[in-house]
Chain A
Amino acid sequence: MTEGFFLHPAAVFFLGAVLLPWVRGRLRGVYLLLIPVVAGLALLAASPGVYGVYAFLGQELILGRVDALSRLFGVIFILMAFIGIMYGLHEKGKTGHSAAALIYVGGALGVVFAGDYISVFIFSEVMVFSSVFLIWLQRDAASLAAGFRYILMHLFGGVCLLGGVVIQLVETGSTAFEPTAVNGIGPVLILIGFLVNAAVPPLSAWLSDAYPEATVTGAVFLSAFTTKTAVYALIRGFPGTEELVWLGAVMAIYGVVYAVLENDIRRLLAYHIISQVGFMVAAVGMGTELALNGASAHAFAHILYKGLLFMGAGAVIQMTGKRKLTELGGLYRSMPITLTLYMIGGFSISAFPLFSGFVSKSMVLAAAHESHLTTIWLMLTLASAGTFLHTGLKLPYYTFFGKDSGIRVSEPPANMLWAMGLAALLCVGIGVAPQTLYALLPYAVDYAPYTTHKVVGTLQVLLFTALGFMLLLKQLDPEPKISLDTDWFYRKGARGLLWLAAHPIARADALLGEAYLTLILNPTERLVQWLWVFERRVIDGAVNGVASVTHACALRMRRIQSGQLQHYALAMVVGVSVFLVYLILF
């Protein structure tokens, strides 16, 4: 354990949440914004090392491991918390919602600085049970149901993680949160736990199911923390696990395919989280220094632009009350600032040169080249085209342009615009000056994003995607439909289970009851009745007969029992005489 003082950033958020109910009025906003500021200062003040080691059930809980990787994720989480809090400042009196968000961020920071799997598990559960309130506090039937499904899937992931950690502990005696070889059931279960949180298909439907049902501010927080905490955990625990390369590449395309079909603006963005996290998962699987730097950088950039996109979509929902592309259109007239800021997010996620996604995504693609993974490179580039197609073209076109819906609203409250502006500024800042981000990465960076080849190649992919969009615009018209995802299995599955219980199982139960009645209960009853008769007539009769004979004899005998000695003596004399006569005669 390193000497010296370390104020854990997660502790700042937890304490901030606990004290929140006592801070009211105008002070509330300042107080909320101060929490990430203090946490950020605490992180900046911490020198690399291991802090906060506690003994727990014979194991070591390590709460404060500070190194380049955990610091990078700590910085971006705290930054995003600041932006998210600013975005929600206009909501007065939503103490529960703010507290849930603070605890959620605290949980994410807890995982990031944890040095052992037990702490990782505990903080992951903290994240699940705080974040679900960001969904539930939308307070409608859809969010309630989606929240329960969200918990269900995360409980599954949590149980896998805990089971894996326990098995790992029994087999190796260690719970250290270090690169773990996937060579047994323990590490596999831990990996599955992380893959659920990273929303890797087929374990991904909880994300696209729940995030669009969350509150406007809640979705901004959700988009940033859970999946990126999982990416961090994968970088830390499973770098170079080859299966992840393919899982990630499939994931990148999976999200894009669903985004074509999607009509709900936040669900479209949610599918693009899955797609973008696919780039990171694939990079973790490649495992080279360039790839892990790429995964970290992409997570950093992604949190900002995806937060910005969710803020833009949230602003549209907040102001119009509508969330479907088929019901929106022509909004650029009344929300030009929102559109501009959203588009900065759109260009960033699409990896246009001079925007943040370019300097991080191109690292992942370069890593694929470096590892001679040509198919993976092609799959990821295809997904890139799809990203621009939906997030940069389809969504803004049908929301802000397209057929005018006639909706005339105003721009969202100033604090929402400021939060979006801050995120947009950071997106452009990282794109223009990538060295600021590269300096934070876990490994030394020897990589130049702005070569003519890369810029021209990227622009060709993107602008010819735009050409395809223009030519196929009619094909892309959104449809008022929903698309089946793997949540079908537990949504319809649960219904099937209920039907199973109500029909075949209930019928089998009735049948079994009937059989029991006819085959066992009724014959037994008849036997008992017969036995009763037998008992009354035969046994009782015999016993009673013996008893009454005895009784009658006794009555007679009683008479000869006079109690007088001379009678008994006489009887004895008679008896002896009879005996003697018998002896003499025979």
Chain B
Amino acid sequence: MSGTPKWVARVEAIRVSATARWLFYAVLVALVLMDLLLPKKAGLPWWEALTGFSAVYGFISCVLIIVVSKLVGHAGLMKRENYYD
């Protein structure tokens, strides 16, 4: 393979592009706004019907999983690779 193929350069460009990032944020906002447009659904706990509940819960879940797991890991669960040898 000589040089970088054109499509690889394009992927790299998208990866660092600010436009792509803002597009992603716009989608996030749109998703939360859609909650406002939807009719409230009966039969669910009240907090689940709150605007953006799933968004907040998803974000909190992600952060919790990363932070708590890493805490537990560094508290002694993680060992050097040849621990059992």
Residues of A within 8 A of B (CB): 256-258, 260-261, 332-334, 369, 374, 378, 381-382, 384-386, 389, 401, 408, 452-453, 456-469, 472, 475-476, 479-484, 491-492
Query: B38 contacts the other chain (Cβ, under 8 Å)?
Result: yes
B78 touches A468 (CB 8 A): no
Digit string of B41-67 for contact with A (CB within 8 Å is 1, else 0)? 101110000001011111101111111
B65 touches A385 (CB 8 A): yes
A382 touches B54 (CB 8 A): no
Which residues from chain B contact A463 at a C-beta distance below 8 Å?
24, 27-28, 31, 55, 58
Give bound CA distance, A480 to B79, whole Å.
9
Which residues from chain A contact B81 at a C-beta distance below 8 Å?
480-482
Give bound CA distance, A452 to B77, whole Å.
42
If A333-B8, A381-B57, A464-B55 touch, whether A261 touches B77 (CB-CB below 8 Å) is yes
Query: B18 contacts the other chain (Cβ, under 8 Å)?
Result: no
B73 touches A460 (CB 8 A): no
Besides A382-B57, A460-B35, A463-B24, 17 new A-B residue pairs in contact (Cβ under 8 A), listed by A number: A260-B65, A260-B66, A260-B69, A260-B70, A261-B73, A261-B78, A334-B1, A385-B58, A385-B62, A452-B38, A458-B54, A459-B31, A462-B58, A481-B73, A482-B84, A484-B78, A484-B83
Which residues from chain B contact A257 at a C-beta distance below 8 Å?
65, 68-69, 72
Digit string of B22-38 for contact with A (CB within 8 Å is 1, else 0)? 00100110011011001
A sample of 13 cross-chain residue pairs with beta-carbon separation below 8 angstroms, ordered by A number, consists of A257-B72, A260-B65, A384-B61, A389-B66, A456-B31, A460-B31, A464-B28, A464-B56, A467-B59, A472-B67, A481-B81, A491-B84, A492-B84
Chain B nearest Cβ from A393, distance in angstroms: 9
Which residues from chain B contact A452 at a C-beta distance below 8 Å?
34, 38
A475 touches B66 (CB 8 A): yes
Candidates A386, A479, A482, A484; contact of B65 at CB < 8 Å:
A386
* Residue in chain B with minimal CB distance to A452: B38
Which residues from chain B contact A384 at a C-beta distance below 8 Å?
61
Give bound CA distance, A482 to B63, whole Å.
22
* Residue in chain B with minimal CB distance to A389: B62
Candidates A369, A389, A481; contact of B80 at CB < 8 Å:
A481
If A260-B66, A461-B61, A467-B28 touch, whether A482 touches B55 (CB-CB below 8 Å) is no
Give bound CA distance, A233 to B44, whole Å.
32
Which residues from chain B contact A482 at a C-beta distance below 8 Å?
78-81, 83-84
B61 touches A385 (CB 8 A): yes
If A386-B61, A453-B41, A468-B66 touch, whether A260 touches B83 (CB-CB below 8 Å) is no
Chain B nearest Cβ from A539, distance in angstroms: 68
If A472-B63, A476-B66, A483-B73 touch, whether A461 touches B58 (CB-CB below 8 Å) is yes
A483 touches B78 (CB 8 A): yes
Give bound CA distance, A458 to B72, whole Å.
28
Give bound CA distance, A332 to B78, whole Å.
29
A465 touches B59 (CB 8 A): yes
* Residue in chain A with minimal CB distance to B28: A463
Give bound CA distance, A514 to B79, whole Å.
42
Which residues from chain B contact A408 at a C-beta distance below 8 Å?
1
* Residue in chain B with minimal CB distance to A484: B77
Chain A nearest Cβ from B74, distance in angstroms: 9
Give bound CA distance, A332 to B5, whole Å.
12
* Residue in chain B with minimal CB distance to A260: B69
If A456-B34, A460-B54 touch, whether A481 touches B79 (CB-CB below 8 Å) is yes
Which residues from chain B contact A453 at a C-beta distance below 8 Å?
38, 41
Chain B nearest Cβ from A495, distance in angstroms: 9
A475 touches B70 (CB 8 A): yes
* Residue in chain A with minimal CB distance to B15: A401
Give bound CA distance, A469 to B61, whole Å.
11
Chain A nearest Cβ from B70, distance in angstroms: 6
A261 touches B32 (CB 8 A): no
Which residues from chain B contact A260 at a C-beta distance below 8 Å?
65-66, 69-70, 73
Give bound CA distance, A401 to B78, whole Å.
25
Chain B nearest Cβ from A377, distance in angstroms: 9
* Residue in chain A with minimal CB distance to B67: A475
Which residues from chain A contact B79 at a C-beta distance below 8 Å?
481-484
Which residues from chain A contact B61 at a C-beta distance below 8 Å?
381-382, 384-386, 461, 465
Give bound CA distance, A382 to B63, whole Å.
10
Chain A nearest Cβ from B40, distance in angstroms: 10
Which residues from chain A contact B69 at a C-beta distance below 8 Å?
256-258, 260-261
Give bound CA distance, A443 to B61, whole Å.
33
Give bound CA distance, A456 to B83, whole Å.
45
Give bound CA distance, A261 to B69, whole Å.
7
Give bound CA distance, A481 to B43, whole Å.
46
Which residues from chain B contact A460 at a C-beta distance below 8 Å?
31-32, 35, 52, 54-55, 58
Give bound CA distance, A135 to B41, whole Å.
50
* Residue in chain B with minimal CB distance to A408: B1
Which residues from chain B contact A466 at a C-beta distance below 8 Å?
24
Which residues from chain B contact A483 at a C-beta distance below 8 Å?
73, 77-79
Give bound CA distance, A543 to B24, whole Å.
116
Give bound CA distance, A374 to B58, whole Å.
16
A472 touches B72 (CB 8 A): no
Which residues from chain A contact B77 at a C-beta distance below 8 Å?
261, 483-484
If A374-B45, A475-B70 touch, whether A464 touches B58 (CB-CB below 8 Å) is yes
Candidates B1, B57, B63, B65; contact of A461 at CB < 8 Å:
B57
Interface centre among A384, A389, A463, A472 (most CB of B within 10 A): A463
A369 touches B28 (CB 8 A): no
Give bound CA distance, A150 to B32, whole Å.
47
* Residue in chain B with minimal CB distance to A451: B41
Which residues from chain A contact B54 at a C-beta distance below 8 Å?
456-458, 460-461, 464
A369 touches B44 (CB 8 A): yes
Give bound CA distance, A335 to B65, whole Å.
30
* Residue in chain A with minimal CB distance to B32: A460
